[in-house]
Amino acid sequence: MTLSEAWDRMFWMLMLIIFVGLLWMRFVQDTLACEGPGLIVAVTIGIVFFATGWRSAAAQKRRAAAEAAAAREREA
């Protein structure tokens, strides 16, 4: 993952954390009456989102490197 991709992913992770947090505050907090679990759930979902993106970017990079190596071998 390049720096700009990581930054982009982090930005959307932050937006997702805020969105989940707001949903928690609006719909769940009244029944549970606590903010802590909401924060944990929101951050966890954000981290999962970031990690998934990181893994898929790494896999894509590996695939591209393998394809490039195969192409070089064919040329040789």
Partner 1 sequence: MSSESLPLADSPPPVAALGAAPKRRVLSDTVYSVLLITPAMILILIFALIPLAYAINVSFRFADLTSPRGVAEFVGLENYHFALRDTFFWSSVLRTLNFAVFAVAIEMVLGVAIAFLLHDIKWLKGLARSLIILPLAASPFAVGLIWRYMYHPEFGVFNYLISRIGLPEQNWLGNSDLAMASVIAFDVWQWTPFVALIALAGLQSLPKEPFEAAQLDGASRWRVLRTLTFPMLRPVLTLVLVLRTIDAVRLYDAVVSLTGGGPGTTTEVVTFYLYRLGLRFFRLDQASAMSLLFLYATVVFTGLVLRRFMREMGERTRAKN
Cβ proximity of 57 and 39 under 8 Å: no
* Cβ-based neighbour number of residue 39 at 10 Å: 14
| Contacting residues toward partner 1, per CB under 8 A | 11-12, 15, 18-19, 22, 25-26, 29, 35
Question: Based on CB atoms, which residue is closest to partner 1, 15 or 58?
Answer: 15
Min dist. Cβ of residue 27 to partner 1 (A): 9
Question: Based on CB atoms, which residue is closest to partner 1, 31 or 73?
Answer: 31
Q: Is 34 helix (H, G, I), strand (E, B) or coil?
A: coil
Question: Based on CB atoms, which residue is closest to partner 1, 8 or 73?
Answer: 8
Q: What ranges in the chain are assigned the alpha helix state H?
A: 3-23, 29-32, 36-75
